Amino acid sequence: MNVRDQLLAAAARVYSESGYRGATTRRIALEAGVNEITLFRHFGSKDALLREALARCHGDDGADLPEVPRDPAAELAAWAGPRLTDMRERRALIRTCMGEFAGHPALFAVEDSGPVRAARVLTAYLQRLREHDLARAEFDPGAAAALLMGTLFADAMGRDIMPHMYANSAEDALEEYLALFLRGIGVKPKREKDDA
């Protein structure tokens, strides 16, 4: 890993643990195994370093939903599973970002973040489900995408805080979320389609 990447990884780790105030350039440089002068030579300022480090931590946009939907249950499971796993793995960083957003909004590239791109991908896919007559309920694709993404987010952020609410396994929970979601947008379960 080159020095720039070491600094970006260290900045994300330190920021996740300590927030903006605790993520001093000295601490980040120490975590990366370099001196502060090297940090400033590469990034110029703490804010520039954190902005780039956080931009790299958005997760992917979930661009793996097919252009021509065929099996909504399998396609959404393949899309949602990695998103949920990614959020669970990054929950400490996500919580810190949410807590720090009001004080340091310039650190976050909100309009081009991974979640915003994922919402666009999911919304377009849900629209395609309607166009291909696979989702027969009346619904707004953007609202439906927000509903599913919000459910995944709540699970990722809340499972360790409210274990009584998330008593089922993570795998079972995802399966149940998707079954409820698909029913809500009017997608028939596969066995019903096969019987018809």
pLDDT tens string 64-90: 899 999 999 999 999 999 999 999 999
pLDDT score, position 1? 80
Over residues 36-44, mean pLDDT:
96
- pLDDT tens for residues 122-158? 999 999 999 999 999 999 999 999 999 999 999 999 9
The answer to whether the beta carbons of residues 142 and 156 sit under 8 Å apart is: no
Over residues 98-125, mean pLDDT:
88
pLDDT score, position 73? 96
Task: Spell out the alpha helix ranges (H) of the chain.
Answer: 3-22, 25-32, 36-43, 46-55, 72-89, 91-100, 114-131, 141-158, 170-184, 190-195
- pLDDT tens for residues 11-37? 999 999 999 999 999 999 999 999 999
pLDDT score, position 6? 96
pLDDT score, position 192? 54
Among 24-38, 105-119, 177-191, the least confident range: 105-119
pLDDT score, position 62? 54
Percent over 70 (pLDDT), the chain: 94
pTM: 0.84
| Residue 186: half-sphere exposure toward Cβ, Cα within 13 Å | 15
The CA-based angle 35-40-46, given to 5 degrees, is: 105
d(Cα 27, Cα 33) in Å, to the nearest integer?
10
Instruction: For the chain, list the domains and their CATH numbers.
Output: 3-55 (1.10.10.60), 72-195 (1.10.357)
